[in-house]
Structure 1
Amino acid sequence: MDTGIALAYLACALLLGQQDSREGYPRLGVLGLALTCVINLALVARRRAPVAVSAVVYGVWALYVALGHWPAVNSLASLLALYTVAATRPLRTAVAAAVALGAVWVYAGYAAPDGSVAAAAAMAVVFPAILVRFGQSARQSEQRGEQLAELTRQLRAERDEKARRAVAEEQARIARELHDVIAHHMSVISVQSGLARYVFTTAPDTARTALATIESTSHEALTEMRRMLTLLRGRANGGPESYEPVPGLDGLGELVARVRTGGVPVELVVEGPKRALPPGVGLCAYRVVQEALTNVLKHARPASAVVRVSYGTHALRVSVTDDGAATGQALKRTGGAPEAGTGHGLIGIRERVRLYGGSVEIGPRPEGGFQVRLTLPTSAPSAREDAGG
């Protein structure tokens, strides 16, 4: 593009140089043609080196004028060179280039046969000032465009990062739900099916009781899975979410009874007056108890457990303790360290509790066995409360 502009300026200058200026200037000779070509063809590099090009244009133009040629022939090239400097360089550099151009212009007026220095000085001030103003405006517009492009890029990156983080959080939530639903119920089913097979011929009534427990447990697992899938489909399709009730502390009785049928004596102790809790807090407490009892059922037998629920004024406290001797070793075999609580289920417990601003202590008891102690504030913000539902 700059090459085309330079050739067009050169053509105009050559045509103008062959005309009679009516001011006593001679037509362009060989040297004048050569200087005109240098002045105009230098514009090819005006974007790559605007300051250097303007210096060449002004210097050669001053020599052109000093040799007695008509200044107007190459004035357009000098104006474009100044505009390019103003559009690509800071104001200080643009002003310096404007002063240089003005000096050549005044000199051209002084050297003209019938020229007016006053008129030349006026043009040397007005024309460069206008070009500098427009050039700086163009530069500022370009800078704003670059800043907007960078801001757009940053916003797009932040949006993508938020989307990735939301997907990761949703995947973690689904993983927690799947673990809580499947691990507990499958543990009960596994224990009961083993019992039924063992006493199938010797104690038919016990076997039938075990099979009934398997039936009810599997039905409850399917119900929870169906509730969770309905909720996920509703969110994915933008439709209404499921309004089926989520498990809460009211379901601890059934949970404890189900674990008892698996061969683990469990005592449920409730302290303080019961009261309604936010659904998210109730679900969190239920899942923590469910995970703790599942670990007892899977790893600590023979053992007994105590589930203690304490309703405080501003907090809910829940503890699950057992006297099983093998809990710590079993957790190590499944990839968790009892002191740190790094098993997959224990990680899920910590994530749930942190979501509702609570705290949890997980580890072995000094007297033997294992304990999980949970504290949840019952005045958590509604946004957090609803997140668990």
Structure 2
Amino acid sequence: MESYADRIERYAARWPRALDVVMVLALIGCASLGTQLSLPGTSTPDSGKPLEVMLGLSCFVLLKYRTHTRTVVVVVALVTVAAIARGYLLTPLLLAPLLAAMYWLAVLCDRRTVRAYAAVVAVALLTVNVASENIPDLSIVLTVIGPVFWLALPIVAGNMARLRRDYLESVQARAEHAERTREEEARLRVAEERMRIARELHDVVAHHLALANAQAGTAAHLARSNPEQSEKILNDLTGTTSSALRELKATLGLLRADDHPQGEGLEPAPGLARLPELIASYRSAGLGVTVTTEGEPRPLSPGADLTAYRIVQEALTNVSKHATSSHAHVRFTYADARLLITVSNDGPAAPTTAASGGFGLMGMRERANSIGGELCAGPRPEGGFEVTTALPLQPSAAVERETP
């Protein structure tokens, strides 16, 4: 429920000038009433109307407290000191305009300025009040402690208001910063997801289209000289296109997870268990592939398994598309906590995917880096091209959570 103070703040924010005018009118009434007070047995000083008019005008000066805070304090303090010097009783009513000026000084100015002005105003008031001959038999305690206490109240209240304002501003700034951070994090995650899906689509489309193209070319070449072999290759071509459609469906199905809340209808991500099927498809297209394994094979995490499969797939696709030789060698080396994969081919060096403007090598390197691995690729000294990657068998928990 909205409090009374909150209502005043909301009204002041919408109609600041109206509230200032009301404040000035109230202060004029307080100052006017303060000039009528006196101690028992004494009478108000006969100072005439000019001083009362000056007190009223000093209240109107408060309308400029937002832009000329220090000047307002000086003007109001001088008029108040002049009134006390003429013999008016120093009361909170007479001090009301000065107390309002000190409050806004504490709200709008730094602490050093507030302390300096408060000290000067207090010394001036106390000096004039003690030296006044028109206030007989007044206790020195009341003469000093009273005015100091009254001046301290608006300063304390102003400091509290300034601290509250600063606190609300800092809370709002933190909230805005948190909102910007969340938006940036969301944009970053969207960009990462788009890149991941782009890599998957590139691997699936590039591999199967290159393989289908090679199979179709081989079948056309053998159509007359070896019809049986040509028919077998065409049957393999059907399997290649079917596999491409299945993998595309599985990849794009990730974008429609709401249709398959439990993963129904989506085949699992490929891994090294499907390597024989992959090798067979390349052999049917005329690319001879040999596979060797060194060390004791160990299970890989799902992310590392998918990465290893995709890197071998992309490397063999590059061999079939760019290499001049018709043979490739894949070597797996299990050592310590890492799996070293090497895909190489013989013959003269051929243009690489990166050099020809593609994204194959870039995608392989990004895949390896995403699970904490490394990848390097380049021509071999003895001829041909080689892709070497080192993958951790069990990536760290933080990396594994980020790996699709």
State the TM bucket, normalised to the shorter chain: 0.7 to 0.9
Percent of aligned pairs sharing the same letter:
33
1:157 is matched with which residue: 180, 188, 212? 180
Deviation at 1:264, TM superposition (A): 1.3
Comparing 112-121 with 280-289, greater Cα deviation is found at 112-121
1:1-389 map, 5 Å:
1=16, 3-13=20-30, 15-16=32-33, 19=36, 23-26=42-45, 29-69=48-88, 72=91, 74-106=94-126, 107-108=128-129, 110-111=131-132, 113-114=134-135, 116=138, 118=140, 119-200=142-223, 203-234=226-257, 239-241=261-263, 244-327=267-350, 329=351, 331=353, 334-335=356-357, 343-385=358-400, 387-389=402-404
Counterpart CA distance in 2 for 1:203 and 1:320 is 31
Deviation at 1:291, TM superposition (A): 0.6
Aligned residue type for 1:255: L
Deviation at 1:271, TM superposition (A): 2.2
Deviation at 1:17, TM superposition (A): 6.7
Preserved CA contact (<8 Å) 1:10 1:41 = no
Preserved CA contact (<8 Å) 1:19 1:27 = no
Partner of 2:10 in structure 1?
none
Partner of 1:339 in structure 2?
none
Counterpart CA distance in 1 for 2:343 and 2:177 is 48
Preserved CA contact (<8 Å) 2:38 2:89 = yes
Counterpart CA distance in 2 for 1:308 and 1:210 is 26
Aligned residue type for 2:67: R
Aligned residues: 380
Deviation at 1:373, TM superposition (A): 0.9
Post-superposition Cα deviations, 1:159-208, rounded to whole Å, max 9, x if no partner, equal 11111111111111111111111100110111222333444455433332
Counterpart CA distance in 1 for 2:229 and 2:103 is 98
Q: 1:154–1:237: structure 2 CA closer, same or farther, 3 Å change rule?
A: farther
Partner of 2:6 in structure 1?
none
User: Which segments of 5 or more consecutive residues in structure 2 lack a partner in the other structure?
Assistant: 1-15
Counterpart CA distance in 1 for 2:368 and 2:307 is 7
Q: 1:14–1:75: structure 2 CA closer, same or farther, 3 Å change rule?
A: closer
Preserved CA contact (<8 Å) 2:346 2:383 = yes
Q: Secondary structure at the match of 1:331?
A: coil
Preserved CA contact (<8 Å) 1:110 1:117 = no
Counterpart CA distance in 2 for 1:384 and 1:163 is 19
Post-superposition Cα deviations, 1:329-353, rounded to whole Å, max 9, x if no partner, equal 2536622xxxxxxx41111111111
Preserved CA contact (<8 Å) 1:196 1:210 = yes
RMSD: 2.7
Aligned residue type for 1:93: T
Q: Secondary structure at the match of 2:231?
A: helix
Preserved CA contact (<8 Å) 2:70 2:105 = yes
Q: Secondary structure at the match of 1:170?
A: helix
Q: 1:97–1:76: structure 2 CA closer, same or farther, 3 Å change rule?
A: same
Partner of 1:340 in structure 2?
none
Counterpart CA distance in 1 for 2:260 and 2:374 is 34
Post-superposition Cα deviations, 1:1-42, rounded to whole Å, max 9, x if no partner, equal 354145323541475278575742257744124312331011
Preserved CA contact (<8 Å) 1:195 1:207 = yes
TM-score, normalised to structure 1, is 0.88
Counterpart CA distance in 1 for 2:355 and 2:390 is 28
Counterpart CA distance in 2 for 1:112 and 1:71 is 13
Q: 1:13–1:238: structure 2 CA closer, same or farther, 3 Å change rule?
A: farther
Preserved CA contact (<8 Å) 1:280 1:386 = no
Post-superposition Cα deviations, 1:278-312, rounded to whole Å, max 9, x if no partner, equal 11111111111111000011111343110111222
Aligned residue type for 2:33: L
Q: Secondary structure at the match of 1:311?
A: strand
Preserved CA contact (<8 Å) 1:105 1:121 = no
Deviation at 1:103, TM superposition (A): 3.3
Deviation at 1:80, TM superposition (A): 0.8
Aligned residue type for 2:51: G
Counterpart CA distance in 1 for 2:169 and 2:259 is 38
Comparing 223-232 with 76-85, greater Cα deviation is found at 223-232
Preserved CA contact (<8 Å) 1:296 1:324 = no
Q: Secondary structure at the match of 1:361?
A: strand
Comparing 43-52 with 69-78, greater Cα deviation is found at 69-78
Aligned residue type for 1:9: A
Post-superposition Cα deviations, 1:81-108, rounded to whole Å, max 9, x if no partner, equal 1111222333333233333333344324
Q: 1:10–1:138: structure 2 CA closer, same or farther, 3 Å change rule?
A: closer
